A and B are shown apart, each in its own frame.
Chain A
């Protein structure tokens, strides 16, 4: 934006300078050429009238007119302008130097015009790169009859040198004004853009503040144009409402799951109190009611875990965690269940990697992913957890992938699977709160990582989690081994 504004200012200043400078230089050149033309025209007319007698005499006595030739030679010596006088047939009557420059097409044309008894017209503008001399021809009239012509051939070197000086001066002025324009424009654009820059930085800070649940740092600092100052002030107000709304929502989730525990406790106790007072045919119903209370309690646990994961965002609780220990521990915990349902739990990739995440973070993520994999993979399949470093990405990351041989997910479901309470349409009766993947995704996000769901080559589901890696050499020595 800054460079674009500068370009715009420079183009405007440049156009203005050129618009003024070029006509100035042109009119200057024209005036100089006009002077030269009139000067030469006067001389040529003089020589034409001076040649009246010699021409008439030369007609009677060819080879005469020495007086005229001498005068022409003197003139040529002083001004460097070659003068030739010819008769009607084009035969040279007198010349200022022994070998006058040959006439080019334009010169011959001018000679024909003069012999037709017409006056010279002003020549077209001579540019600095035009090396042609200025040729003027005037008729020699005797008693109103054309008897010959006087031709002057003036070199334009001096004129062109002056012209180059003029153009150079104009170019210098244009550049100077451009420079001045830039000098003025830089601080002005800086002043205009300061609120824009602060807004730009502010949006980034607001995003992280919103994630962390902190109040957003104000962007407005009272500088810049009034319109932009108002914009930054409105932006601050908006950021404040957004962060407030979000923290209210989080507090609500935490409070609600908290407050629901008391009624739930009373409900469970009341149901238990019915023990022994329930008719035999209703015992089943009582047990089912207790199971429902248990299920509700599970959903509350999930909600609270999610609220906690979001609340912890602002708190720097991250630590240096050895991936292997956690992965092995979780695989051991899930193995009995997996083997019971006829699944193999496999571990692949490399060992010895460390990542930065809140304590218990990898456990939460792996539990959610393994829970899904074990639930949906049919007997005889396998679930593979692969840990490997990500190559060629800065900052460095560790990839933990959970791959199963289950039915996978439809492409449109992959997007929504990390939404709260989302369940695959055909799995709505499978046990679970529908919060596992949401909590996992949030935990990964808060650790500064990414979580991606995709369809595996074999048709199963592959969930890839990337977390910030801690190089083995700089690992915190205080970290738990």
Chain B
């Protein structure tokens, strides 16, 4: 997979490139936004920093959208809701706020690619099974060794998110954003409470694994 990295900060780019290479991706890096449109050939996903020195990243995003169908993930230090809306309106497929975790970034790169390229391949009513726990993403039910376990809506959403990530780590920020819609001062601790309850209810203390400093992932058991 080839990633076009539009990022003005050399040090961020230098740190990011080996991380992406480790996940089997190749990268082209541009320090300026103007040339982005000319480098779209052979690119699978564009990673675009909105805070560019020469042009507004939002304009770059629009320009890319006008010429190409390539998925764009915008990355920004601006985390405000208004900026997020502007970013998505300008044609971006997803939105990440600095500082982000590389696992989350990779998961999102795969997600936007799936959505763009193989939308029909993704089964809506998938069942993820791990360690005797069957998570039915379509019917919103969970069974442990064949017996159904009652979860609250949020608990199920957390579990379903981890299940659909397929073993890769989901950052706390991402889980909170996708399950609760917004972050608040108690969000991380609330997530911990939900994970603790999940572990108890499922009777599998090691199914949901903590990745310290990053987030959670679904383990093999």
Contact = CB atoms under 8 A, between A and B. Distances in A.
16 contacts: A258-B51, A261-B99, A262-B11, A265-B12, A266-B9, A269-B12, A269-B16, A272-B102, A273-B19, A293-B213, A304-B79, A333-B190, A336-B154, A340-B193, A367-B184, A367-B185
Nearest to A257: B77
A290 B186 contact: no
Contacts, number: 97
A318 interface: no
A262 B12 contact: yes
A289 B213 CA distance: 8
A266 B77 CA distance: 13
Given A262-B9, A290-B212, A272 B98 contact: no
A370 interface: yes
A268 B101 contact: yes
Say which size band chain A's interface belongs to. Answer: 35 or more
B58 to A, nearest CB: 16
A46 B177 CA distance: 126
A290 B213 contact: yes
A265 B173 CA distance: 14
B120 interface: no
Contacts of A337: 186, 189-190, 193
Interface in A291-308: 291-294, 297, 301, 304, 308
Contact of B196 (A268, A272, A340): A340
B60 to A, nearest CB: 18
A270 B99 CA distance: 12
Interface of A: 258-259, 261-270, 272-273, 287-294, 297, 301, 304, 308, 330, 333-334, 336-337, 340, 363, 367-368, 370-371, 374, 432, 436
A432 B11 contact: no
A266 B196 contact: no
Main secondary structure of the interface of A (DSSP, over half): helix
Contact of A291 (B79, B80, B103, B212): B212
Contacts of A259: 77
Contacts of B88: none
B18 A374 contact: no
Contacts of A308: 80
Contacts of B103: 272
B190 A266 contact: no
A336 B154 CA distance: 10
B15 interface: yes
B7 to A, nearest CB: 9
A299 B137 CA distance: 36
B193 A261 contact: no
A258 B49 CA distance: 13
B214 interface: yes
A336 B12 contact: no
Given A265-B99, A273-B15, A333-B184, 20 more contacts: A262-B9, A262-B12, A262-B98, A263-B11, A265-B12, A265-B100, A267-B99, A268-B99, A268-B100, A269-B12, A269-B15, A273-B22, A290-B214, A292-B213, A294-B172, A333-B190, A336-B193, A336-B194, A363-B184, A367-B184
Nearest to A308: B80
Given A261-B77, A265-B98, A290-B213, A272 B185 contact: no
Nearest to A433: B185
Nearest to B212: A287
A266 B11 contact: yes
B186 A262 contact: no
A276 to B, nearest CB: 9
A266 B101 CA distance: 10
A3 B60 CA distance: 66
Interface string B76-92: 01111000000000000
A387 B202 CA distance: 39
Nearest to A289: B213
**Top-10 shortest CB links A-B:** A290-B213, A287-B212, A269-B15, A261-B77, A371-B185, A291-B213, A265-B99, A261-B98, A266-B15, A340-B193
Interface string B58-87: 000000000000000000011110000000
Contacts of A261: 77, 98-99
Contacts of B213: 287-294
Nearest to B11: A266
Interface string B154-178: 1000000000000000001000000
A266 B12 contact: yes
A259 B194 CA distance: 34
B15 A432 contact: no
A457 B184 CA distance: 29
Nearest to B14: A266
A454 B34 CA distance: 56
A78 B129 CA distance: 143
Contacts of B172: 294
A270 B186 contact: no
